[in-house]
Amino acid sequence: MSHHVLLILHLLAAAVWVGGHVVLVLGYVPEAIRSRDPRALLDNYQRLNRIALPALLVVTVSGLWLALNWLPQIGLWFEPSMPIALVILAKLLLLVLTLLLLAYLRLRVLTALTPDRVARLGLVFALLALLALVAAAIGPSFRYGGFG
Ligand code: HEM
């Protein structure tokens, strides 16, 4: 697949992932914390997930593919003296943190949700949105030569 098509897929899927989480955090988290009632938040999270999880998969596959185009030798991705490798490493770190947070959400937060734990649920969504925003913000660094 051409780099251009991969980049378009990456950007469209990233927009869905980032936008969905920002809407969740700004639109539903404050009310859920105020009322200590997470039902509207969870309802929207479930609906969002139907498109957000496939979007994250597309972001990941296209991102790894784009990274391979930039640096075809995977061994070089872990060479911190290279400015482009540093951006790839930052993206990989953000992806791992996102996956860990999703696992924590599913295994620890959603399974034991009580009214006094709604704030923790909101915090997890806020962190997911923040990680996605940072990944988007550093995206253009590739074409500006990387970090360093
Ligand atoms: C939620 C996660 C992510 C978001 C929101 C995101 C967002 C973005 C954005 C906005 C760009 C800018 C493209 C441009 O300059 O026009 C970009 C570029 C890029 N991203 Fe991601 N990204 C994410 C995850 C990843 C992952 C996991 C990788 C894998 C290492 C990755 C690899 C890349 C690469 C290689 C580019 C440069 C493409 C190019 O300009 O040729 N991204 N990303």
139 lines ligand 1 (CB under 6 A): yes
Looking at the domain assignment, is residue 148 inside a domain?
no
What DSSP line would sit under 104-144, residue for residue?
A: HIIIIIGGG--GGGHHHHHHHHHHHHHHHHHHHHHGGGGTT
Residue-wise pLDDT for 95-106, tens only, equals 999 999 999 999
Q: What percent of the chain has pLDDT above 90? A: 97
Q: Which residue has the tokens 């290279």?
A: 82
Give the per-residue pLDDT at 129.
Answer: 98
Task: Name the residue with the closest Cα to ligand 1, atom 31.
Answer: 63
Number of domain units in the chain: 1
Confidence of residue 148 (pLDDT cuts 50, 70, 90): confident
- Phi then psi for residue 109, to 5 deg, are -85, -50
Looking at the domain assignment, is residue 58 inside a domain?
yes
For residue 69, pLDDT beyond 80:
yes
The range of the structural domain enclosing residue 15 comes to 3-142
> If you average pLDDT over residues 41-67, what whole number do you get?
97
Give the per-residue pLDDT at 1.
Answer: 87
